[in-house]
Amino acid sequence: MSAHEQGFGAAPNAPFWLVSELRSVGLVPGRYVLGRAADADIQLADDPNVSRRHVRLVVSNDAVEIEDLGSSNGTWLDGKLVQHPLRMPVGGKLRVGAEEFELRRLRPPRRRRQSATTSPEIPLGRSVVAADDDETSTREDTPVDMVYDQVIGLLDARRVDDARRFVDPLLGLLELGHRPLQAAALDRVGILTLRLAEVSGEGRYVDWIINEHRRRGRLVSSTTAELLERVLFAGVPVDGLGLESYLSLVSELGLASGTPGDELVRRIRGASAQRGFTVPSPPPEEH
C-alpha cells in the first residue's frame, strides 16, 4: 500500500502526519516522494501544477526534512520557496501545487494524572456530563483532534465522501486500541460519527458509537444524546438490538444515576420507542 492510500488505521505508530483538507498521511521513518507520477509515494495526480516527482520528504523519528526535486512550479514552506533541503517544523505548512499540508506530530501516550483541566469546548452548546473526574483532557496530539476541525468543515459543506475518508480510518485506529480514549475524546468521536450518520443516512456510524459506549461501560454525554435523538427521529437505520443492549447495560450498571443522566436516558428511550424498538424499562426507584 502506498503512502497516499494510508489513513489513521494504516499507520497508527507513525510519529508524524501530513494533514490537508483532502487527506491524512501517516509518516513512518523513511523517504517519500510527492508528485503526479503513478509510483509517487504520495500521489497528487489531479493537479497539473505538480511535477511528476515534485518534492522528497526524509522522515526520522525526530524530524522531517523536505527537498524540492527540481519541480516546475516550486515547493513552498510557510510561504517561502524551498531552494535547498530544509527541516519542516511541526505545524509548518507545505504547499505543493494547490494542496497545502500541515505537519503534525502524534506523541506517545502520557501517564494519567490528577488534573483540574476541563474538557475542550464542543459545538451544540451542551456540556459533557459523563466525563470521568480522574481523566485529563487530551485535546492535544490525539488522532481525534487532528482531524476534528477538518471533518466538521466537510460535514458543514455536506462533502460526505471526503468526510468518510477521514472518519473511517480514524475509527479503524480507535478499534486497534492504540491510545486510551478519554471521555472528552469519546464525545468528539460521537459528534463526528453521528453528524456523519445524519448527513449520509448511514446507520453504521450510529452503531459504532453506541457499541463503543457499551464496550467501555459509559453513559453518553448530553451532546451525544442530542445527536443520537436527532438521527433516530430522522429515521437513520440503526441496529435496534445493539441500542437495546446498551440501554439494558445502562440500567444494570446504574450509569444514569442522578437527574441529568436520567434525563439523557429518558430522551433516548423516547426516540427508540418511536422507532419501534423494544426499550428496556428503567429500574424501579428505591424507597
| Contact status, residue 104 vs residue 17, Cβ threshold 8 Å | yes
What pLDDT is attached to residue 282?
A: 53
Could you give the count of Cα atoms lying within 13 Å of 216 in the half-sphere of its Cβ? 20
Strands (E) across 119-234 are located at none
- In angstroms, the Cα distances linking 196 to 71, 154, 188 are 38, 10, 12
Query: How many angstroms separate the CA atoms of 269 and 282, rounded?
Result: 9
For the CA atoms of the chain, what is the radius of gyration? 22
SS3 of 227, please? helix
Query: How many angstroms separate the CA atoms of 96 and 269, rounded?
Result: 50
| Contact status, residue 162 vs residue 177, Cβ threshold 8 Å | no
Residue 18 phi, psi (nearest 5):
-100, 125
Per DSSP, 141 falls in state S
Residue partners of 98: CB distance under 8 A and separation at least 6: 47, 49
Query: How many angstroms separate the CA atoms of 109 and 107, rounded?
Result: 6
Task: State which H helix or E strand residue 145 sits in.
Answer: helix 143-156
SS3 of 263, please? helix
Q: State the 10-residue block means of pLDDT for the chain, 287 residues long.
A: 42 75 83 92 90 94 93 94 93 94 70 36 31 39 79 90 86 67 86 94 92 84 89 88 82 66 78 71 53
The maximal CA–CA distance of the chain, rounded, in angstroms, is 79
Does the predicted TM-score (pTM) go above 0.85?
no
All three cell numbers of 249, joined, read 447495560
What pLDDT is attached to residue 108?
A: 45
| Contact status, residue 219 vs residue 235, Cβ threshold 8 Å | no
What pLDDT is attached to residue 285?
A: 54
Total count of residues recorded for the chain: 287
Could you give the count of Cα atoms lying within 13 Å of 26 in the half-sphere of its Cβ? 20
Residue partners of 207: CB distance under 8 A and separation at least 6: 238, 239, 242
Strand 16-19, strand 75-77: pairing: unpaired
What pLDDT is attached to residue 23?
A: 80
What pLDDT is attached to residue 213?
A: 87
